[in-house]
Amino acid sequence: MESENPQFEKDQLRDERGAMDPVAPVFSTGVGIDAETIKQISQAKNEPAWMLEIRLAAYQTYLDLPMPKFGPDLNGIDLDQIKYFQRATDHIARDWEDVPNDIKATFERIGVPEAERKYLAGSAAQYESEAIYSNLKKDLESQGIIFMDTDSALQKHPDLVRQYFGTLVPADDNKFAALNTAVWSGGTFLYVPKNVHADIPIQSYFRINAGRTGQFERTLIIVEKGGSVNYVEGCTAPNYSEDSLHAAVVEVFVKKDGYCRYTTIQNWSTNVYSLETKRAQAGTNATMEWIDGNLGSKVTMKYPSIYLVGQGATGSMLSIAAAGANMHQDTGAKMIHMAPHTHSTIVSKAICHNGGRADYRGLIKYTKAATKAKSHVECDTILMDPDSASDTFPVNDIETSDGTIEHEAHVSKIAEDQLYYMQSRGLDEATASQLIVMGFLEPFTKQLPMEYAVELDRLIKFQMEDSIG
């Protein structure tokens, strides 16, 4: 059903991402980073000594590691001018009414409390560096599910955090993983006990408000044997003349017969560098699914990985990337098969318009133990104009002789015969093009809860409104 006031909807979408909220932090370490900054962060959070040791060691690793030598140009971001820690409020609210009014208005504007009431099992919101709200429905809490920000988990469940923290993504994995480990703050901690099922989505929402700000959430998800969870996160930031940095680390552990779906919809503004490291491990007969949508940012570098370590483990990645003017989406996936009869699927969809660039970068690896492994990769891109561009950089590293791997890639323009047919039925070119694009993205959108699919449709149309005609 169409809105009675479509211009209002466009203005609302611009406001959701393009307006700064009038919120001053209650504490900030200021601009720049050194060992003292890291000590300040750890002290402000009242962390155990072992976490400070991890942070300081990671900071030295960060100093020693070079910037990535592949992918997009990162010279535009000055890491010495970033604000590495900003606390927006002095407490985490468990009741929505206790959230500070200015912050609450932001999340109400983008539908977080409404979504929680209608169809979420739990919801959390992070503003700048730390969580400001977290809530889990009582029936799931009574089954032993733990859902909170990672800072709170460090205080309440230190042994669990220490057991898993940094085991899938060590600090020396890459420069931005080291930086995250040194200055991490916030993020989601989600623990699902044995044979417990959380099928209704649990959501976290991340907001960068101020310019020249870094957001370094650290997310840990553990699904015990036979458990299942559906986790969704969304991200936004307003537009600034100054660049901001989002450098998250995510570690997901899915034990035997477990299931996890991790859905991300990122709608960053075009002044954000989104440089993330996301990695999962799937045990025997476990299933791990990444559903990944990238609709904004100046630069995105993100390649979610799944280590298929148990026999019969399954991994899948379904992603879309929409790149417009002054945007470079460098995304993909990595599937590492380390056991027999493992299976992986990667489906990547990209749309480039107004001179945007979207590249696919992926890895399929079979170790010698990955006998009878199977993998299928699809990369499809639509170029909306001659100035847009896309490349595919697949790597297949195969150490066994009896596995199966398939790879196909297509780069195309919108078919003239499709446009002609739809225009002959009375549609204008812009509407016809939008329908073709949404049909192209249908494999992705049909995997989302209905409310997310509707919102994604709105965001895609909004981003592409100047691409045709």
Q: DSSP letters of 53-104?
A: HHHHHHHHHHHHSPPPSSSS--TT--GGG-B--EES-SS-BSSGGGS-HHHH
Distances (CA, A) of 283 to 123, 254, 306: 27, 6, 11
Sheet-wide strand order for 374-383: 130-136, 122-127, 197-207, 228-236, 259-267, 287-294, 314-323, 343-352, 374-383, 404-412
Cα separation, 111 vs 331, whole angstroms: 27
Q: Which domain holds residue 233?
A: 16-301
- Classified as helix, coil or strand, 171 is helix
Residue 350: closest CA among 339, 360, 342, 340: 360
Other C-beta atoms closer than 10 Å to the C-beta of 187 total 27
Q: Using CA atoms of 403, 361, 269, 465 in order, give the dihedral in degrees to the nearest 10.
A: -90
Q: Quick one: 394 exposed, middle or buried, by C-beta within 10 A (0-12, 13-18, 19+)?
A: middle
Tens of each residue's pLDDT in the chain, 469 residues: 333 333 333 333 334 444 444 445 555 777 889 999 999 999 988 999 999 999 999 999 999 999 999 999 999 889 998 888 876 554 454 555 655 555 455 555 555 555 554 544 455 555 555 444 545 667 777 889 998 889 899 999 999 999 999 999 999 999 999 999 999 988 889 999 999 998 777 877 766 654 567 889 999 999 999 999 988 887 665 554 467 888 999 999 999 999 999 988 887 778 889 999 999 999 999 999 999 988 878 999 999 999 999 999 999 999 988 898 999 999 999 999 999 999 999 999 998 888 999 999 999 999 999 999 999 999 989 898 889 999 999 999 999 989 999 998 887 777 666 666 677 777 776 777 667 676 777 777 777 665 566 666 666 666 655 554 4
Q: Using CA atoms of 454, 457, 459, 462 in order, give the dihedral in degrees to the nearest 10.
A: -130
Other C-beta atoms closer than 10 Å to the C-beta of 15 total 12
List all residues 6 or more positions away from 375 whose beta carbon is below 8 Å from its beta carbon: 335, 337, 343, 344, 345, 346, 364, 366, 403, 404, 405, 406
Residue 1 lies in a domain: no
Residue 221 lies in a domain: yes
pLDDT at 353: 87
**Amino acid identity, position 133:** Y
Domain's final residue, options 249, 271, 301: 301
**Amino acid identity, position 177:** A
Angle at 359 between CA 358 and CA 361, to 5 degrees: 150
Concatenated DSSP letters for 367-425?
-TT-TT-EEEEEEEEEE-STT-B--EEEEEEE--SS-EEEEEEEEEPPPHHHHHHHHHT
Domain's final residue, options 264, 280, 301: 301
Other C-beta atoms closer than 10 Å to the C-beta of 295 total 25
Q: Which residues pair with 189 in a beta bridge?
A: 148, 220
Domain count, the chain: 2
Domain's final residue, options 301, 328, 347: 301
Residue 459 lies in a domain: yes
299-302 vs 272-275, strand pairing mode: parallel
Residue with the two structure tokens 């990337």: 321
Residue 435 lies in a domain: yes
- Judge if 272 and 420 occupy the same domain: no
- Judge if 297 and 440 occupy the same domain: no
Residue 149 lies in a domain: yes
First to last CA, the chain: 24
Residue 390 lies in a domain: no
Length in residues, the chain: 469
Residue 327 lies in a domain: no
The model carries a pTM of 0.84
Residue 353 lies in a domain: no
Catalogue the long-range contacts made by 153-161 (C-beta closer than 8 Å, 24 or more residues apart): 153/189, 153/220, 154/45, 154/47, 154/48, 154/51, 155/46, 157/189, 157/191, 158/48, 160/191, 160/222, 161/189, 161/220
